Amino acid sequence: MFNLHPSKSYTAYRIGTFWGGRYRCVLDSDDWSTGGHSRIDHKVVHESTGEPWQERPNFLEIYSPSRTVQVYHCFETWEEIEAGKKAVSAEATAEAVKIREGDALADKLKTGLTVNGGEKAATSK
């Protein structure tokens, strides 16, 4: 997601996607580590809505700060959830975060995630 506007940020910005499921921001140009303001919470899980948008069967809504770029990853599709399977285990997700953030955040990720800013999602083995 690119928002290169010099001053306008967007709340609830819709992005069409082919994959319905749960998404997390995995790369963010606004992160503290890249000299940004850290306006995106990487613990928030965004859930797509099964309505068409931009000629795609699903969409998710995100916050898009001005002058930033984010990459969102679908770590669990609705089909996988219904089948009781996870596409990526908590350990694999923690490993990906460990590469970017360090061990402390990876350990927090193993214990639980914030879903849509409030509820906890189980991520145990």
pLDDT tens, position by position, 66-102: 999 999 999 999 988 877 755 455 666 666 666 665 5
| Domain 2-121 sits in CATH 2.60.40.1180 | yes
Residue type, 53: W
pLDDT of residue 121: 47
pTM for this prediction: 0.64
HSE-up (13 A, CA, CB side) for residue 74: 19
Residue 125 scores a pLDDT above 50? no
Q: Which position has the token pair 């290169």?
A: 4
DSSP string, 54-110: TTBSEEEEEEE-TTEEEEEEEEEEHHHHHTT--SS-HHHHHHHHHHHH-HHHHHHHH
The domain locations on the chain are 2-121
DSSP string, 42-53: TTEEEE-BSS-B
pLDDT band at 122 (very low <50, low <70, confident <90, very high): very low
pLDDT of residue 124: 42
pLDDT of residue 14: 96
Q: Are 17 and 78 in contact (CB under 8 A)?
A: no
